[in-house]
Amino acid sequence: MHLLLTIAAIIYLFLVIIACGYYLKISLGIAKGQFEGILGKIADEPFVSIIVPTFNEEANIVNCLESLCSLDYPHYEIILSDGGSTDKTVKLAQPLVDYTLVDSNLPEGWIGKNWGCHVASKIAKGELLLFTDADTTHKPDSLKKTVSMLKQKNAGLLTMLPYQELEKWWESIVPIYFFLSHLVAGGLKSINDPKQKDSFLGIGQYLLFTRKAYDTIGGHERIKGSIIEDFAFARITKVQLSSLYVMESNRLVSTQMYPDSIKQCWTGWKKCLYAGTKLTPGRKITITIVFVLWGIFAPVAVVLSTLYGSWLAIVIATGSYILFPFILWTYWREKGRHYWITYVFFPLLLLVFIIAMITSTFELLFTKTTTWRGRKYSPDLSAGLQDQYDPVQRSSKIIDHYDSEESVELHLTQPQNMSKTEK
């Protein structure tokens, strides 16, 4: 028994050392003060088309659009692309946007959000395209800073993680998910290195493309069946164009992802976990597994060392238990609101994450379907992995469908009493 515990302790300590070393490696060298020197007027202010895909977003849409209308940026338009909402989303949005697209007929093989963004991109006039979610809130200077950063870094796609507002106890798992995604991606230094082709990360809440890059990689038609379009876009842009840039949000944009219910949170994560592994190199998944094992077995190590170990073993086990939430806190400290449950019950949250991963794997691998916002999809798990693309052949089919469908409605509106109209 003593020999087995000793071997287990050595293995556990080895895992902790590897995990800490990896985290230090990916965390060092990240540039600070990334907005320094870009706070003034942008020399070239390209026209930006802001595209907001929606489906039953009446609770969020006004707040989002009002913040977009108040952007301190001279040249932009707002396009709402609705997937056939049954609530008041479109009615509430129309006074606040330039164009409203409504299309309740989803073509075969498409995910709803991807289709909505695609049809909106066809009428967008911008040199830059910003795809953002309806549950986001944008500070007035956010677009000016992200456009400036995009140009400064000569990026084809700029993405960032909005500041995460956590209010409900079930949202305490959100930091866990993004922390593990950060580990899989390899950290910002690696992600933003054009030579590191297997390091990439995309956040669908904020995707800022140059029109040239968007068209070159094939736009949303390229990843039409992807349930994780942000991750797929990030990989394609990094591999094909070497022009992906991921930045810290510095609270320029904020969001609350799953405020409604536990079910909403569960289905939100479940639909994308297994799909994400299909785009991720195996060795990067391995290091994430090391962190998960560390976190789950941390309390076990404390209990066993207390019952059977020496004082040194107790100190090491307790230290490793405290170290995990500390590392999690250092990662999350500027990315979102802190919730005490995250740091106290992290082993349980990691178990929930594993259960969600297993459920996601079973659902997508065996049933081939997943559900989101009341719609059942059969996602294309290979979307984002294709190295070849024929834009002429593929886009022509979609344009024909779009032009012929009677379900598509186009409304031109004028925002009223908002700062955007005063530009």
Mind listing the pLDDT tens digit for each residue in 227-265? 999 999 999 999 999 999 999 888 999 999 998 899 989
pLDDT at 160 exceeding the cut of 80: yes
Q: Which residues contact 298 (CB under 8 A, 6 or more apart)?
A: 317, 320, 321, 324, 347
pLDDT at 169 exceeding the cut of 80: yes
Report yes or no on 69 lying in a domain: yes
What does the pLDDT average to over 79-83? 95
Question: How do residues 10-24 score in pLDDT, each as one tens digit?
Answer: 888 888 998 888 888
pLDDT number for residue 392: 47
pLDDT at 34 exceeding the cut of 60: no
Q: 3-state DSSP call for residue 68?
A: helix
Q: Are residues 210 and 239 in the same domain?
A: yes
pLDDT number for residue 206: 98
pLDDT at 40 exceeding the cut of 60: no
pLDDT number for residue 405: 45
Question: How far is Cα 246 from Cα 46, in angstroms, rounded to an integer?
Answer: 20
Which tokens belong to 319? 């230290």
Q: Which residues contact 213 (CB under 8 A, 6 or more apart)?
A: 156, 157, 237, 241, 243
Q: Are residues 205 and 99 in the same domain?
A: yes
Number of separate domains in the chain: 2
pLDDT number for residue 372: 80
Q: Which residues contact 295 (CB under 8 A, 6 or more apart)?
A: 324, 346, 347, 350
Q: 3-state DSSP call for residue 323?
A: helix
What does the pLDDT average to over 338-354? 94
Higher pLDDT, 172 or 27: 172
Report yes or no on 274 lying in a domain: no
Question: How far is Cα 382 from Cα 258, in angstroms, rounded to an integer?
Answer: 27
Q: Are residues 301 and 408 in the same domain?
A: no
pLDDT number for residue 390: 61
Question: How far is Cα 33 from Cα 101, in angstroms, rounded to an integer?
Answer: 39
Q: Which of 344, 367, 390 is the last residue of a domain?
A: 367
Report yes or no on 374 lying in a domain: no
Report yes or no on 124 lying in a domain: yes
Kindly report the CATH number assigned to the domain that includes residue 193. 3.90.550.10
Q: Are residues 240 and 292 in the same domain?
A: no
Q: Which residues contact 188 (CB under 8 A, 6 or more apart)?
A: 30, 246, 248
For residue 355, give Cα distances in angstroms to 288, 343, 347, 348, 359: 15, 19, 13, 11, 6
Report yes or no on 372 lying in a domain: no
What does the pLDDT average to over 207-221? 97
pLDDT at 422 exceeding the cut of 50: no
Which of 267, 125, 148, 244 is closest to 196 using CA atoms? 244
Question: How far is Cα 30 from Cα 33, in angstroms, rounded to an integer?
Answer: 10
Q: Are residues 171 and 95 in the same domain?
A: yes
Q: Are residues 155 and 111 in the same domain?
A: yes
Task: Give the domain extent around 315.
Answer: 2-27+282-367
Q: Average pLDDT, whole number, for the chain?
A: 87
pLDDT number for residue 391: 56
The answer to whether 270 and 244 are in contact (CB under 8 A) is no
Q: 3-state DSSP call for residue 390?
A: coil
Question: How do residues 117-159 score in pLDDT, each as one tens digit?
Answer: 999 999 999 999 999 999 999 999 999 999 999 999 999 999 9
pLDDT number for residue 36: 46
What does the pLDDT average to over 55-66? 96
Kindly state the DSSP code that residue 31 receives in the 8-state scheme: P
pLDDT at 304 exceeding the cut of 80: yes
Express as a percent the part of the chain with pLDDT over 90: 59
Report yes or no on 113 lying in a domain: yes
Kindly state the DSSP code that residue 336 receives in the 8-state scheme: B
Report yes or no on 34 lying in a domain: no
Q: Are residues 84 and 217 in the same domain?
A: yes
Which of 161, 206, 158, 162 is closest to 52 using CA atoms? 206
Q: Are residues 301 and 232 in the same domain?
A: no
**pLDDT tier, 219 (very low <50, low <70, confident <90, very high otherwise):** very high
**pLDDT tier, 385 (very low <50, low <70, confident <90, very high otherwise):** confident
Q: Are residues 56 and 192 in the same domain?
A: yes
Report yes or no on 275 lying in a domain: no
Q: Are residues 248 and 383 in the same domain?
A: yes
Dihedral of the alpha carbons of 414, 418, 420, 423, in degrees to the nearest 10: 100
Higher pLDDT, 152 or 410: 152
Question: How do residues 393-404 score in pLDDT, each as one tens digit?
Answer: 444 333 334 443
Question: How do residues 86-123 score in pLDDT, each as one tens digit?
Answer: 999 999 999 999 999 998 888 999 999 999 999 999 99
> Residue 332 phi/psi, 5° resolution?
-90, -10
Question: How do residues 369-380 score in pLDDT, each as one tens digit?
Answer: 888 877 888 888
pLDDT number for residue 343: 95
- Cα 149 to the center of its chain, rounded Å: 19
Q: Are residues 228 and 361 in the same domain?
A: no
**pLDDT tier, 8 (very low <50, low <70, confident <90, very high otherwise):** confident
pLDDT number for residue 400: 38
pLDDT at 31 exceeding the cut of 50: no
The number of residues making up the chain comes to: 423
Q: Are residues 383 and 234 in the same domain?
A: yes
Q: Is 146 exposed, middle or buried (0-12, 13-18, 19+ CB in 10 A)?
A: buried
pLDDT at 278 exceeding the cut of 90: no
Question: How far is Cα 121 from Cα 114, in angstroms, rounded to an integer?
Answer: 11
**pLDDT tier, 171 (very low <50, low <70, confident <90, very high otherwise):** very high
